[in-house]
Chain A
Amino acid sequence: MTSFLVRRVVGALVILIFISLITFYLFYAVPRDPARAFCGKICPPETLELVRHNLGMDKPLFVQYWLWLSAIFVGRDFTQFGPCPAPCLGYSFATQEPVFNAIVDRFPVTLSLTLGASVVILSFGILTGMLAAWKVGQPLDKIASSSSVIGASLQIYFVGPLVVFLLVDTLGLLPRPSYVPFTEDPLTWFVHLLIPWVVLSIIFTANYTRMTRSQMLEQLAEDYVRTARAKGMSGRSVFFRFAWRGAMIPIITIFGVDLATLLGGAIITEQTFTLHGIGELAVRAVQNTDLPMLLGVTVVGAAAIVILNIVVDVLYAFIDPRVRLN
């Protein structure tokens, strides 16, 4: 198990360095010169040179990358902005604040959004899928199966405003979505994020209902389930104590992928509900050609996805002993 984890973490670091390298390179291929953008509309050549120098952009590309990378661990001193202690991702060109701080400020919003939605999606999806499989062929199964088709064809920028209009503007049941730190007031945090979670789960849960149902039915037809029945286990305990494990494995795999989709989709989700998370930060960074911010957001986003996938893999190994060996 330990070596499994070590291998996964090393692999993750390699992936992250690779992603940051590519992003770094791509940003220097963008048509707009970031130094010029930073310098302003009226920018005499000597000022531009100075800005380039101060931003460290007159150095060869790989040196710049190295400076960026090492700053994460040892910090860096910018002539333009002053010292930037580790972990340093540079300063925003647009707001002049340290990129790392901006991300740390916004991260809890996106994390709350994603993890909260995941919990709702997984618990609802698995529950309804289990029920459908338990009552296979009966009305409950048919309702669950057909509603899952509808859910999957919906889009957040359509459902989101609709639900807000209904629940907030018309019925006044829930407050308009916003972010209140969990540490400040858990209940308010919960209530204010409920609508985004529910909307995300309307769209994603369907998939899990369908998958759980079919996986459960598949598992119930397995030989080892027949053995369990032949040992005298009741139908119920076979269903809830045996079959679910096998059914969860593919579900966790898909969940790993969906997590990335949810995080990437934060850009749209946050815009739909005017939440100020990483997604919004990314949108603004693109608009402003704010290279350090974009690079920071990309790498932190990638890191989050990679870490969550390690967690998913650990879960996977936890459920299936066959994974632990290799």
Chain B
Amino acid sequence: MTTVSWSSEPGTSRGPGPFLSVRDLSVRFSTEDGVVRAVDGLSFDVEKGTTLGIVGESGSGKSVTNLAVLGLHDPAHTEIDGEIWLEDQELVGASSATLEKLRGNRVAMIFQDPLTSLSPFHTIGRQISEVYRKHKGASRKEARDRAIEMLERVGIPQPATRVDHYPHEFSGGMRQRAMIAMALVCDPDLLIADEPTTALDVTVQAQILDLLKDLQQQYGTTIILITHDLGVVANTADNVLVMYAGRAAERGTVREVLSKPRHPYTWGLLSSMPRLTSSVDAPLVPVRGTPPSLLSPPAGCAFHPRCDFSQLVGSDLCFTQRPDISPENGHGDACYLTLQQKRDIRTGDTKEHA
């Protein structure tokens, strides 16, 4: 497995660094109610050919982060700071022409709900082929053949017939396959999948994730997989980024984060995940409370209103000072508890649940 460098130093020299590097990103929306700090000082890297899983409850800024990578926020209402490097190209503040050339071509995205995300007015074939024509300058015929080839690649039976069908004539799983075909038609280097299986039923979910894994193995695509399900991450990703209130709570390899989770929020996510070892009707323990409002996030650690351990930290650090992720590389988390404290809590926790 590729090791991940998590350097948080601003990208001064862009030598052979990570494939995608997000540095101190913040995304703020001005709304009628005030400024929404959807992403607030987020850094992470993705190495070429690996899969990064981004996990967090809904509203934690996962989609906003990735829409920022594609430059899809409405500039009239959005303020973006920080840096997003795709190899040696800075995407924050890039011209719309640059971004349009990138989108669907080098960086592609698939969305949660394939029914609403596909145009109801155009055939699947047309929606796939128009990307190919736009970026590769292919003829109508070439693009159509390519669309059929792509439908076949993502496992749609009778692709030559299906290519002329409309999205409403497809089942949910088939639609998401078509979405994937559309995203991959130009052989992108980076695929961002924003909760690609949330709208699908369980058996189809597994098929879609398998498909993504296969395609990655064959074509070496780098993938960012957004999900609120750690189970999905466990099966699919190499590295994990746990997001809370627009910031990184924890990051590391899947093995590290799942077997030795360090952040109390990650513990909460893990305990709300159905375990194979627990009895079937053991109730899930979700993280208590609700995510904070990003209009006026809590001072200090944004997680403190929901955290059971802030009194262990001593002083009032949790309530006054925002924790940064540490260490800078490898498995890190943004919490003031010492590693020893975390281990103690975890072993107690495990005993409780055993």
Chain A residues in the interface with B (C-beta under 8 A):
222-224, 226-235, 242, 245-246, 319-322, 325
Contact = CB atoms under 8 A, between A and B. Distances in A.
A230 B108 CA distance: 7
A233 B182 CA distance: 13
Contacts of B105: 232
Nearest to A230: B109
A121 B82 CA distance: 49
Contact of A246 (B111, B121, B131): B121
B109 to A, nearest CB: 5
Nearest to A322: B168
Interface residues of B, number: 27
Nearest to B182: A231
Given A232-B100, A232-B131, A322-B166, A227 B120 contact: no
B117 interface: yes
25 contacts: A222-B116, A224-B117, A224-B118, A226-B72, A226-B117, A227-B117, A227-B119, A230-B103, A230-B111, A231-B104, A231-B131, A232-B100, A232-B101, A232-B102, A232-B104, A232-B131, A232-B134, A232-B135, A234-B96, A242-B119, A242-B121, A246-B120, A319-B121, A322-B120, A325-B168
Contacts of A246: 120-121
The 6 A-B residue pairs whose C-beta atoms are closest, nearest first, are A231-B104, A232-B104, A232-B103, A223-B116, A224-B119, A245-B121
Contact of B121 (A226, A227, A233, A321): A321
Contacts of B113: 223
Given A223-B113, A230-B70, A321 B104 contact: no
A321 B116 contact: no
A325 B104 CA distance: 31
Nearest to B134: A232
Interface string B112-130: 0100111111000000001
B120 A229 contact: no
A224 B120 contact: yes
B131 A223 contact: no
B193 to A, nearest CB: 12
Contacts of B111: 223, 226-227, 230
A228 B119 contact: yes
Nearest to A235: B96
Nearest to B102: A232
Given A232-B131, A320-B121, 20 more contacts: A223-B116, A224-B116, A224-B118, A227-B109, A227-B117, A229-B72, A229-B103, A230-B104, A230-B108, A232-B102, A232-B103, A235-B96, A242-B119, A246-B120, A246-B121, A319-B121, A321-B120, A321-B121, A322-B166, A322-B168
Contacts of B72: 226, 229-230
A229 to B, nearest CB: 6
Given A223-B111, A322-B166, A231 B130 contact: yes
Contacts of B101: 232
Nearest to B131: A231
Nearest to A225: B119
Nearest to B99: A232
A223 B130 CA distance: 18
B103 A223 contact: no
Contacts of B131: 231-232
**Residue in A230, A235, A242, A246 with the greatest tally of chain B CB atoms within 10 Å:** A230
Nearest to A221: B74
Contacts of B109: 227, 230
Given A222-B116, A227-B111, A322-B168, A234 B121 contact: no
A226 B103 CA distance: 12
A231 B117 CA distance: 12
Nearest to B128: A231
Contacts of A230: 70, 72, 103-104, 108-109, 111
B118 A227 contact: yes
Given A229-B103, A230-B70, A321 B166 contact: yes
A232 B96 CA distance: 10
A245 B166 CA distance: 15
Contacts of B102: 232
A147 B179 CA distance: 43
A234 B118 CA distance: 17
Contacts of A319: 121
Contacts of B121: 242, 245-246, 319-321
**Residue in B101, B104, B113 with the greatest tally of chain A CB atoms within 10 Å:** B104
A227 B111 CA distance: 8
Contacts of A223: 111, 113, 116-117
Contacts of B120: 224, 246, 320-322
A283 B344 CA distance: 93
A227 to B, nearest CB: 5
Contacts of A325: 168
B151 to A, nearest CB: 16
Contacts of A233: 100, 130, 134
A223 B113 CA distance: 8
**Residue in A222, A228, A232, A325 with the greatest tally of chain B CB atoms within 10 Å:** A232
Contacts of A235: 96
